[in-house]
DNA sequence: GCAACTTCAATGATATATCATACATCTATA
DNA sequence: TATAGATGTATGATATATCATTGAAGTTGC
């Protein structure tokens, strides 16, 4: 049965969490998707990453990140200043509007997390994290991403 | 830190698994995506579901399923026969080619799973499943999907 | 038997995901 | 220092994801 397959449960849990999270962000009247938020946050923390670096951190493709950056820039949440030291790159900066969105989203994200994790102890979460990391490593070992 | 966030670990694990799984399916020379495979499988098991039913089972949207069905039909893996009892619907059937693909994929999926779950005991998996189910339920409680 | 409601599938709009490729620029080395 | 290779970004093609809406077809209640 599908329900006994662990990856089915994984998918189910993460998708439901995403629905909850996005719904609460929408309800708070903030116009951003979870994925955009994640990218914006990564850029806020490190403004010297290449698109590929960012992609690594959010487990996406460089092409996806390129499009998200272009969208976030179009929306005024991100600004790109060409880097004199490297003609291929730009320095990405979160704008005032971007900062505002990030700080608006923060409490919603925290509340989503605690809602979603109700009934799970710290020990549970540690165990869960370890198992997930184990799965990740197992899949990386033979994944054709050398 | 992002790495301490459980949903980050969840995302990371599932994405890596998907990469491994898709890579191994591709490597076996089978032209299907994991998502298409899942839909095809659900239809094989129950040929009397509506698109919304299928969407529920694969945790997707009815619109996504509609497009996947149309694609699978175009590729000849699925056939739709109009239902006389209901002018809106069609009976979906997995074709010979579809059956072939499903049976080709089966061993690859099994091998992917055991690869990915190496080092996790049955007890671990039960625990994992329970925690994921807990998260799912927590997120469903207030998810605006009544 | 028909009006109101519900169900089902299809599709437009927008965003994401991924691969492959194109193009520019940078770096290392022969 | 010319150039081969590496790196960084952008984009076409295709698939998926989601919401909202349309329109057809079924069901209910009166």
For B85-128, write each residue's pLDDT tens digit. Answer: 999 999 999 999 999 999 999 999 999 999 999 999 999 999 99
Mean of the pLDDT values across residues A11-33? 91
Mean pLDDT value across residues A101-105: 94
Q: Could you tell me whether strands B78-82 and A90-94 are parallel, antiparallel, or unpaired per DSSP bridges?
A: unpaired
Q: Which of B33, B41, B39 is nearest to B55 (CA)?
A: B39
pLDDT at B3: 58
Query: Does the structure show a pLDDT above 50 at A145?
Result: no
A118 CA from C13 C1′ (Å): 37
Enumerate the H helices of chain A as residue ranges: 6-27, 34-45, 51-58, 62-74, 96-116, 122-142
CATH class of B2-142: mainly alpha
Question: Chain C positions under 7 Å from a protein CB?
Answer: 7-13, 15-20, 24-27
Q: How many residues does chain B have?
A: 146
A45, B2 Cβ separation under 8 angstroms: no
> In angstroms, rounded to a whole number, what is the distance separating the alpha carbons of residues A38 and A65?
11
Q: What is the DSSP letter of A106?
A: H
Q: How confident is the model at residue B34 (pLDDT cuts 50, 70, 90)?
A: very high
Residue of B nearest to A140 (CA): B16
C-alpha to C-alpha distance for A124 and A46, rounded to whole angstroms:
31
Dihedral sign for Cα atoms in the order A138, A139, A143, B1: negative
How many angstroms separate the CA atoms of B65 and B50, rounded? 10
Closest CA to A37 of B103, B29, B8, B100: B8
* Tokens, residue B129: 């499943």
Give the pLDDT of residue B144. Answer: 44
What pLDDT band is residue A146 in, cutting at 50, 70 and 90?
A: very low
- Residue B86 (CA) to nucleotide C5 (C1'), in angstroms, measures 18
User: Nearest 5°: phi and psi at A68?
Assistant: -70, -40
Cα separation, A116 vs A22, in Å, equals: 13
pLDDT one-digit tens code per residue, B19-32: 999 999 999 999 99
Which CA distances in Å does B40 have to A26, B59, B74, B88, B104? 33, 14, 13, 21, 13
* pLDDT band (50, 70, 90) for residue A47: confident
Annotate chain B with DSSP letters as a single string: -GGG-HHHHHHHHHHHHHHHHHHHHHHTT----HHHHHHHHHHHH-TT--HHHHHHHHT--HHHHHHHHHHHHHTTSEEEEE-TT-TT-EEEEE-HHHHHHHHHHHHHHHHHHHHHTTT--HHHHHHHHHHHHHHHHHHHHHSS--
pLDDT, one tens digit per residue, over B58-92 is: 999 999 999 999 999 999 999 999 999 999 999 99
Give the residue from chain B lying closest to A128, CA to CA: B128
CB-nearest partner of B143 from A20, A117, A127: A20
Write out chain B residues lying below 8 Å of A16, CB-based: 59, 135-136, 139-140, 143
Task: Check whether residue B38 has its CB closer than 7 Å to nucleic acid strand D.
Answer: no
CA nearest B19: which of A138, A119, A33?
A138
CB neighbourhood size of B111 (10 A):
13
Question: How many Å apart are CA B98 and CA B144, to the nearest integer?
Answer: 36
Hey, what are A105's tokens?
A: 């989203």
pLDDT of residue A2: 59
Q: How many angstroms separate the CA atoms of A98 and A42, rounded?
A: 12
Pick the CATH number of A10-142 from 3.30.2420.10, 1.20.1050.10, 1.10.10.10, 1.10.340.30: 1.10.10.10
- A61 — contact with chain B (CB < 8 Å)? no
Where do the structural domains in chain A lie, given as residue ranges? Answer: 10-142
């Amino acid at each position: 049965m599908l329900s006994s397959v662990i990856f089915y449960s994984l998918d189910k849990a993460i998708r439901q969490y995403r629905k909850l999270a996005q719904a609460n962000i929408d309800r708070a009247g903030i116009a951003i998707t979870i994925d955009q938020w994640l990218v914006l946050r990564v850029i806020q923390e490190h403004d010297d990453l290449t698109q590929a670096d960012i992609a690594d951190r959010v487990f996406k493709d460089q092409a996806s990140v390129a499009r998200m950056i272009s969208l976030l820039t179009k929306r005024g949440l991100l600004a790109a200043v060409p880097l004199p030291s490297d003609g291929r790159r730009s320095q990405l900066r979160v704008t005032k509007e971007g900062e505002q969105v990030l700080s608006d989203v923060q409490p919603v994200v925290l509340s989503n997390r605690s809602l979603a994790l109700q009934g799970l102890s710290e020990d549970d979460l540690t165990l869960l994290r370890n198992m997930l990391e184990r799965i990740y490593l197992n899949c990386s070992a033979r994944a054709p991403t050398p």
